[in-house]
Structure formats: C-alpha cells, structure tokens
Amino acid sequence: MLPDQKLSEHFSLYELTATSNAALQAANRDLTPEQLGKLCALAALCEELRAICGNTPMRVHSGYRSPALNGNTAGSSSTSQHPRCEAVDFDIPGQTLQESFDLIRAAARAGKIKFGQLIIERAERSYGIAEWVHCSVIGTLDPLKVGMVMEMQMVDGKPHYILVEKFNFATPQKGENE
C-alpha cells in the first residue's frame, strides 16, 4: 500500500482511492507506477473541474476502484473507467449537481475542457438517494463514447442513460501537430 501523497495542488492519492468498503481499502491503494501516473492525470482533470465549478472544494465520492472494489460497488459496470484510474464521481458542496453539470458543459462548449464522459447520476441506495457528477479522462475510453454528456434516470429500478449532448473532442492523428 502506497503512502498518501499529493497528486496535484488540491488532490491526494488517498482522496482519489478512498472507499467506505473497509475490507478493500488497503487493496485499493496497492497501485503500480502506471496506475499512479494515471491517477496524476485524473487529479489534473479534477483540478480543471474544481476551477470550472468556482474554485471551491470538491467532494470526491469515488475515484480509482480496484477490480474487486468495482465488483462490490452497487451499480458499477464491468466497463467502468474507475478500475482504469480514469474516472471520478464528485459533488461540489453548496452547489447543486445541475449547476456543476451545466458549468462543465458550458466550459466544454467554450473549448476550456475535454473529457471522456460527463454524466449526472442519481441512484436509490439502502440509505436513500445517492447523487453525483461522473467525469472521466479520455484515456482508454471507446472513441465513439468520447465527449458524451448524459443523464442517468432510474426506470423500473434500473439505470438508463440518456444522451443530452455530444462533443467532438477529436485528437490529432499521428503526424499532426508534432
């Protein structure tokens, strides 16, 4: 297990690897150098999100999830970017999810941020309704999914994702801008 360390100005390793699942916490911090590098890229995205949302503290619900933790997290997908150190679920205290979501969309429209996916999510849990904004780096995401902005809605107890906008975050082809 790695010791805590700053990955960026406002985000630490332990913040991006925290879990309420005590049995899997240590394993969730047993990272390779490659994973640590990817978490630094995720922390950089978190810094962008924080700045866009008013430069106020951001509450991270979930960053990296080991495969075991992802498999034991309600509602998690086997194709999630969380086990690849490429996604963060968060909220901004004092700001509604819709406000954060709309600020990030506006920044994307203005060319100030690129992301893999941006999703506003709400799910019923045993303790009540949980809600967060999900944002990912482009990373290893299927290129057809890059730039998708979605809203999750529960239908008959199952999550359904509604596409609300799609950005074209084209990356230069080999040989361009080199």
Is 158 part of a structural domain of the chain? yes
DSSP secondary structure letter of residue 175: T
Is 8 part of a structural domain of the chain? no
pLDDT digits (tens, 9 = 90+) for 47-97: 999 999 999 999 999 999 998 888 877 767 777 899 999 999 999 999 999
What is residue 177's predicted lDDT score, i.e. its pLDDT?
37
**Is the confidence at residue 128, as pLDDT, over 80?**
no
Number of domains in the chain: 1
Give the Cα separation of 110 and 91 in Å (integer). Answer: 22
Is 2 part of a structural domain of the chain? no
**Is the confidence at residue 116, as pLDDT, over 90?**
yes
Is 91 part of a structural domain of the chain? yes
Proportion of the chain above pLDDT 70, given as a percent: 93
The mean per-residue pLDDT over the stretch 146-170 comes to 91
Is 24 part of a structural domain of the chain? yes
Is 174 part of a structural domain of the chain? no
What pTM does this model have?
0.90
User: With contact defined as beta carbons under 8 Å apart, do 133 and 119 qualify?
Assistant: yes
User: With contact defined as beta carbons under 8 Å apart, do 119 and 150 qualify?
Assistant: yes
- Cα-based distances in Å from 161 to 89, 154, 172, 175: 16, 9, 29, 36
Is 35 part of a structural domain of the chain? yes
Is 20 part of a structural domain of the chain? yes
Domain that holds residue 119: 13-166
What is residue 171's predicted lDDT score, i.e. its pLDDT?
58
**Is the confidence at residue 43, as pLDDT, over 80?**
yes
Reported as a pLDDT band with limits 50, 70 and 90, residue 168 is very high
Identify the CATH number of the domain in which residue 146 sits. 3.30.1380.10
Give the Cα separation of 21 and 71 in Å (integer). Answer: 12
User: With contact defined as beta carbons under 8 Å apart, do 86 and 46 qualify?
Assistant: no
